[in-house]
C-alpha cells in the first residue's frame, strides 16, 4: 500500500459511491444507463490525473463516436476499465465478472447501465451472458470484452478465447481491436500498490466479422491486430 492507494481508498471510492447513488437516482427518470457511463468516464479521467498516469492514445481516427463496436483489448491491470472509459469517446458498456455484480449498489448500477455480468466456469450461465452481450450491440451500444479472460501478470499477451467473437458475429457490430501497454506496472497483479506512469492505448482499424467464415478466423485476425501493435509500440 502507498500514498496513491490511500487516495483511492479515501477519495476515489467515496466519490465513486456518491456517483453510483446519483446514477441510481437519475435512472428513475432516464433508464438508458447513459448517466452511469458519463459519470464513470469522468471518474476514470479523475483517477488518472490524481495517480499521475499519463495516457498516450494512438489511432483515434480509426473509429467513429457515432457508431457502435465490440471493443476487445488485452488486460493487464485493474486500471484498464476506468482508463478505457475515460479515454475512448464511445457510449461504452463492459462485460464484467459476476463478483462485481454482487457488490451492494454498484452491482445494481452496473446492471441498470447495461453492463453484462458473466459467471466464469459455468457453461450454461456463461452462454446466457453471451446472449445478453449480443443484445447490447443490437441495441446500439458499444461493448467491451477482454478476450483473454483474465489479467496478465507480466503485461505479455495471453491467448484469446472464442466467446467475444461469437458475440461479434451474432451482434453484427465491427470489432475494434485495442492494445494496452504499461497498465500492469500501474496496478500490479496481487498487489495493493498503485504506481504512477505512462500507458499507451493503441486503437486499431475496425474488423468486420462478416469478412470471416468462422469464429476462429475472426478471433485469429483480432489477436494478430492486437499483437502487431503490442510488438510495434512496446519499445517505442
- DSSP structure string for 115-150: -EEE-TT-HHHHHHHHHHHHHHHHTT-EEEE-TTSS
Average pLDDT of the segment spanning 85-94? 93
103 or 58, which is more confident: 58
pLDDT of residue 50: 94
Which domains does the chain carry?
Answer: 3-233 (3.40.1130.10)
Average pLDDT of the segment spanning 122-127? 69
- In this prediction, residue 2 has a pLDDT band, given cuts at 50, 70 and 90, of confident
Average pLDDT of the segment spanning 54-61? 96
pLDDT of residue 77: 86
- DSSP structure string for 60-97: GGG--TTS--EEEE----TTHHHHHHHHS-S-EEEEEE
Mean residue pLDDT across the chain:
91
pLDDT, tens only, 164-197:
999 999 998 999 999 999 999 998 877 888 999 9
Query: From CA 209, how far away is CA 72, in angstroms rounded?
Result: 13
Query: From CA 143, how far away is CA 63, in angstroms rounded?
Result: 14
C-beta of residue 176 within 8 angstroms of C-beta of residue 210: no
Burial class (CB in 10 A: 0-12, 13-18, 19+), 197: middle
pLDDT of residue 51: 93
pLDDT of residue 98: 85
pLDDT, tens only, 152-164:
888 899 999 998 9
C-beta of residue 204 within 8 angstroms of C-beta of residue 179: yes
DSSP, res 32: T
SS3 content of the chain, % helix, strand, coil (to 5): 50, 15, 35
* CB atoms near residue 48 (< 10 Å): 20
pLDDT at residue 127 greater than cutoff 70: yes
pLDDT of residue 189: 78
pLDDT at residue 111 greater than cutoff 70: yes
Amino acid at each position: 500500500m502507498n500514498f496513491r492507494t490511500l487516495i483511492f481508498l479515501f477519495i476515489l471510492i467515496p466519490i465513486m459511491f456518491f456517483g453510483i447513488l446519483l446514477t441510481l437516482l437519475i435512472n428513475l427518470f432516464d433508464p438508458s444507463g447513459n448517466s452511469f457511463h458519463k459519470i464513470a468516464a469522468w471518474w476514470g479521467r479523475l483517477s488518472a490525473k490524481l495517480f499521475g498516469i499519463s495516457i498516450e492514445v494512438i489511432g483515434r481516427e480509426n473509429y467513429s463516436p457515432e457508431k457502435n463496436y465490440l471493443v476487445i483489448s488485452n488486460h493487464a491491470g485493474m486500471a484498464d476499465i476506468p482508463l478505457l472509459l475515460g479515454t475512448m469517446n464511445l457510449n461504452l458498456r463492459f462485460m464484467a465478472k459476476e463478483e462485481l455484480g454482487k457488490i451492494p449498489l454498484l452491482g445494481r448500477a452496473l446492471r441498470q447501465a447495461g453492463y453484462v455480468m458473466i459467471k466464469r466456469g459455468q457453461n450454461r450461465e456463461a452462454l446466457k451472458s453471451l446472449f445478453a452481450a449480443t443484445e447490447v450491440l443490437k441495441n446500439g451500444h458499444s461493448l467491451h470484452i477482454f478476450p483473454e479472460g483474465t489479467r496478465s501478470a507480466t503485461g505479455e499477451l495471453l491467448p484469446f478465447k472464442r466467446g467475444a467473437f461469437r458475440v461479434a458475429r451474432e451482434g453484427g457490430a465491427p470489432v475494434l481491436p485495442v492494445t494496452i501497454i504499461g497498465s500492469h506496472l500501474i496496478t500490479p497483479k496481487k498487489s495493493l500498490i498503485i504506481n504512477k506512469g505512462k500507458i499507451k492505448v493503441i486503437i486499431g482499424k475496425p474488423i468486420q466479422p462478416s469478412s470471416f467464415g468462422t469464429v476462429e478466423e475472426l478471433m485469429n485476425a483480432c489477436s494478430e491486430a492486437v499483437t502487431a501493435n503490442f510488438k510495434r509500440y512496446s519499445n517505442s
